[in-house]
Amino acid sequence: MAAVLAAAALHATWNALVKAGGDGFAVLALAIGLPALPILALLPFVPLPAAASWPYLVASTLVHWVYFGCLLGAYRHGDLSQVYPIARGTAPLLVALGAWALAGEALGRLEAIGLVVLSAGILSLAWRRGPRPAGEARGMLLALATAATIAAYSLFDGLGVRRAGTVPGYILWVFLMTGGPFLGFALWRRRHDWRVSVAPSLKAGLGGAATSTLAYGIVIWAMSQGPMAHVIALRETSVVIAAGIGAWLLGEPFGRRRLLAAAVAAAGAALLQLG
């Protein structure tokens, strides 16, 4: 629990960097791609994942690339404090259904109640009064698509790491296969203006690289140790942290309603663990 909650804080931090770091595409590409460079040096010192895990590695890689596109599109049309809760509040429910169907990880009654309460608390952070800004509906649809991709790659990695025979090896190959090609694509796409877009994003990208790698590495390790729905639900408490970051650093609204939503999410997490 302590490790996954730490991962939640790291995850909220790197998403805020993508939203506020200037060129979101460049920041995301650097955050995801830069870890591939030191990983190449580490590969000779870890075992190669077993053959049974490679279909899951490939599937996770492909879904991650779709996730990046959905995430950037959602942030382009919506606020961090609205897009992030929708994407992250829906994902645990989808993971729970997928884990039950694919891995036989059925939740008990108290666990299911806790999961629903936690997701409801997270999703309520996205609700707001007043007129809707132009483009918000598109941002919400992209946030739901992001949730579906989060659930898909989480399930693939949860199933894959259990078949890999080596947790460190699986984690390193996930980051290498996901980040290396994506960074190469980003540099090619911005080849004519990288000094304008990529170079100014380097600081935010380095921060995102450190936090995102550690955050998801912890999550993959945790899914090798316990039920996937528990791990993903706890990780998504990062939404509460992201809402605070959005209010403190990005000037997005925050108030008693969000404090109440945070309390509901925390209560749901407690019920899930007690179950």
**264 pLDDT more than 70:** yes
**131 pLDDT more than 60:** no
10 Å CB burial of residue 242 (0-12, 13-18, 19+) is buried
Q: Residues 211, 8: contact at Cβ < 8 Å?
A: no
What pLDDT shows up at residue 201? 77
Q: Which amino acid is at 275?
A: G
Q: Report pLDDT digits (tens) over 160-215.
A: 999 999 999 999 999 999 988 888 888 888 777 777 777 777 888 888 888 889 99
pTM for this prediction:
0.86
What average pLDDT is seen over the chain? 85
Q: What angle, 0 to 180 degrees and rounded to 10, lies between the N-to-C axes of helices 54-77 and 80-103?
A: 160
- In the chain, domain spans: 2-274
What pLDDT shows up at residue 145? 93
Q: Which of 100, 215, 222 is nearest to 161 (CA)?
A: 222
What pLDDT shows up at residue 133? 57
**122 pLDDT more than 60:** yes
Summarize the confidence of residues 32-53 as an average pLDDT. 93
Q: Residues 64, 153: contact at Cβ < 8 Å?
A: yes
Sign of torsion, CA 209 211 212 218? Answer: positive
